[in-house]
Structure 1
Amino acid sequence: MNTKRILIIGGPGTGKSTLITELEQQGHTCFHEISREVTAAAQKQGIEQLFLTQPLLFSELLLKGRIQQFEDAKQLNVAYTFYDRGIPDVAAYMDYTGDEYPDMFREACENHRYDVTFILAPWKEIYAQDNERYESFEQAETIQKYLITAYENYNYSLINVPFGSVSERIEFILNTLKNL
């Protein structure tokens, strides 16, 4: 079976992880966001925000993890595989910080393509900062612009998911996939 890779992207706090968790509870195969794991591991080593102090190392770890998720999905025999963020997110965040990054980042974006990309817009009513999400809502809006630019630069068509309850958003995603 040729698994369709379904990507859910958006700035911080847009509800991506909540949707991925619900999709998984409904029996769909999902790959979770790994930046929280990378951040938590760094904090255990005494580095409060690895993304801020060593953005290239943080991004390399994310890139490696997302490529691994991409490769792991090749072994699956399911109709859809959902991802909470994709490989181009790494380049978008590096662009956001203005940091230089090696060509391997661009090559990874070009060599690992997702089939369908849904984007969630910043939503002030659900936005919350926490130990791993340090960005303000205004920063989340700026990051959103960098994500859109990055994905468009890699020739992705973005499907906007409307605001709504978790079940309404999932219904939109699944209905859209049925009609593609």
Structure 2
Amino acid sequence: MSRSVLISGCSGGGKSTLLAEFGRRGHAIVEEPGRRIVKQELASNGTALPWIDAIAFARRAIEMSTADHAAAKGQAGRTFFDRGLIDAASALQHLTGEPVLQKLSTAHRYHQTVFLTPPWPEIYTSDPERRHGFDEAVAEYDRLAATYPALGYEVVILPKIGVADRVNFILDRLTAK
């Protein structure tokens, strides 16, 4: 079973905060491809940004996620991902209709259990890297909540509890497997 654990779900649902806590506890982590791409594009005046060229952005996210997934295979222990290849492929397929999800998800599997952060309006904020609104974040969440089970993953919706408790919840769920 893959030791690459995905934390996906709603934008602004607390994924990056969870990832930071996993890192603080000594776990290997992979930051969200989308945020890394936005930072790179903004620094270089690039256009592969979700609000300028969403298709180019999704293709870059697929490339970065594929490289991240391959790099994690060499890690000892679990690696926790803030989003990943399936999120990027789902976005591209939604934007273009290209049937990329099945092919990519078969070639690059993550841990069987995927953890989703649900929409949580009380903690949602936009920022220079996340410019879309809450309604768009919820629509993306709904797509992902349908996509993961369709690809054979078990989806666990994270409870709306504190960061440390959420991390403990994930670790307990993985240990029980």
- TM > 0.5 fold call: yes
Whole-angstrom distance in 1 between the partners of 2:24 and 2:154: 27
Shift of 1:93: 2.0
- 1:82 counterpart SS class: strand
1:94 corresponds in structure 2 to: 92
Is 1:3–1:77's contact at 8 Å kept on the other side of the alignment? no
Whole-angstrom distance in 1 between the partners of 2:126 and 2:93: 22
- 2:50 counterpart SS class: helix
- 1:52 counterpart SS class: coil
Moved more, 41-50 or 68-77: 41-50
Corresponding pairs, count: 176
1:147 corresponds in structure 2 to: 144
Is 2:93–2:100's contact at 8 Å kept on the other side of the alignment? no
User: What is the letter of the counterpart of residue 118 of structure 1?
Assistant: F
**Matching of residues 1-180 of structure 1 within 5 Å:** 4-47=3-46, 50-78=49-77, 80-96=78-94, 98-101=95-98, 103=99, 106-115=102-111, 116-180=113-177
Shift of 1:134: 1.0
- 2:18 counterpart SS class: helix
Is 1:10–1:121's contact at 8 Å kept on the other side of the alignment? yes
User: What is the letter of the counterpart of residue 159 of structure 1?
Assistant: V
Q: 1:30–1:40: structure 2 CA closer, same or farther, 3 Å change rule?
A: same
Whole-angstrom distance in 2 between the partners of 1:63 and 1:176: 28
Is 2:19–2:80's contact at 8 Å kept on the other side of the alignment? yes
Whole-angstrom distance in 1 between the partners of 2:27 and 2:104: 25
Whole-angstrom distance in 2 between the partners of 1:62 and 1:29: 20
- 1:117 counterpart SS class: strand
- Determine what percentage of the aligned residue pairs are the same residue: 28
Shift of 1:45: 3.5
Shift of 1:88: 0.9
Ranges in structure 2 where 5+ consecutive residues have no aligned partner: none
Is 2:8–2:116's contact at 8 Å kept on the other side of the alignment? yes
TM-score, normalised via structure 2 length: 0.91
Is 1:91–1:150's contact at 8 Å kept on the other side of the alignment? no
Is 1:95–1:146's contact at 8 Å kept on the other side of the alignment? no
Ranges in structure 1 where 5+ consecutive residues have no aligned partner: none
Is 1:17–1:32's contact at 8 Å kept on the other side of the alignment? yes
Whole-angstrom distance in 2 between the partners of 1:12 and 1:169: 16
Is 1:16–1:120's contact at 8 Å kept on the other side of the alignment? yes
- 1:46 counterpart SS class: coil
Whole-angstrom distance in 1 between the partners of 2:68 and 2:39: 19
Whole-angstrom distance in 1 between the partners of 2:47 and 2:170: 35
